[in-house]
Amino acid sequence: MRFLVVKRRTVIIAVIAAAVIAFALTGVYYTGAAAIYNNVSPKMVPIYSVETEEKAVALTFDAAWGADKTLGILETLEEKDACATFFLVGFWAEKYEDELKKLAASDRIEIGTHSATHPYMSKLSRSQISLELSTSKSLIEGISGRKIELFRPPYGDYSDALLTEAKEQGLYTVQWDVDSLDWKGISKEQIASRVVGNCRNGSIVLMHNDGKHTLDALPAIIDGLRAKGFTFKTVGELIYKDNYTIDHTGRQIKGD
């Protein structure tokens, strides 16, 4: 029975990948974690940071490709009494079930979706967007036993249609206002300096579970932010779930 379930997941992911591959071959090239937008600026904006008087930040890790440093990141967070949010791609969750289950077993970790196949989602039709979100949610929830309420678009690429569909599926779309640039392979000192030097109240920090020096930089990031008086929250704890607005910079603001 388990073989049939895993096989079915694989087929679903393969079908989605085939459906979107034509859209990936349109002359848009990979740019790391830099945000990519439509030719026309969308009217809707995801959450990039949170307006708050509390000196709190959220550390986040995108997981799409490798997993060899994932448990090391988890161990560091637990040892340092910190927390983080992991955004997982569906095919990553399927390939690395054991790592996902260990993340889900920790009360230091929050889990969100990063799509099913990691496409440029602004190039997809509404039905393809819906399938990316619903399939990844179902897959990750099935393995982790966690309810998924957060979504981060691959490449930071979004559209009004994507944000609307995500909201209809009960997902808060979350970006970042502090990019560690760990995806560029910069040194651990450079990563830590960028994060610690650029965080403000309500910042959301972008990192990657497979960054070359991310794990090595993490202790200095946690210690450096604490030295500046910051505490750590998961994204779900940091953001407002209702009665809020989002300004043109993506700053989420609590309503009256």
DSSP letter string, 62-105: EESS--TTHHHHHHHHHHTT--EEEEE-HHHHHHTHHHHHHHHT
pLDDT at residue 256 is higher than 90: no
81 as an active site residue: the answer is no
Average pLDDT over residues 5-28: 47
Structure confidence by residue, pLDDT tens digits, 57-72? 999 999 999 999 999 9
pLDDT at residue 79 is higher than 60: yes
Structure confidence by residue, pLDDT tens digits, 190-239? 999 999 999 999 999 999 999 999 999 999 999 999 999 999 999 999 99
Its pTM stands at 0.86
pLDDT band (50, 70, 90) for residue 26: very low
Considering 62, 177, 182, 210, which one is annotated as catalytic? 62
Considering 114, 118, 208, 213, which one is annotated as catalytic? 208
Q: State whether residue 1 is helix, strand or coil.
A: coil
Higher pLDDT, 6 or 44: 44
pLDDT above 70 covers a percentage of the chain that reads: 84
248 as an active site residue: the answer is no
225: Cβ–Cβ under 8 A, 6 or more apart, which residues? 57, 195, 196, 199, 232
Average pLDDT over residues 49-59: 98
Q: Which domains does the chain have, with CATH numbers?
A: 2-254 (3.20.20.370)
pLDDT above 90 covers a percentage of the chain that reads: 82
- Asked if residue 229 lies in contact with residue 53, where contact means CB atoms within 8 angstroms, the answer is no
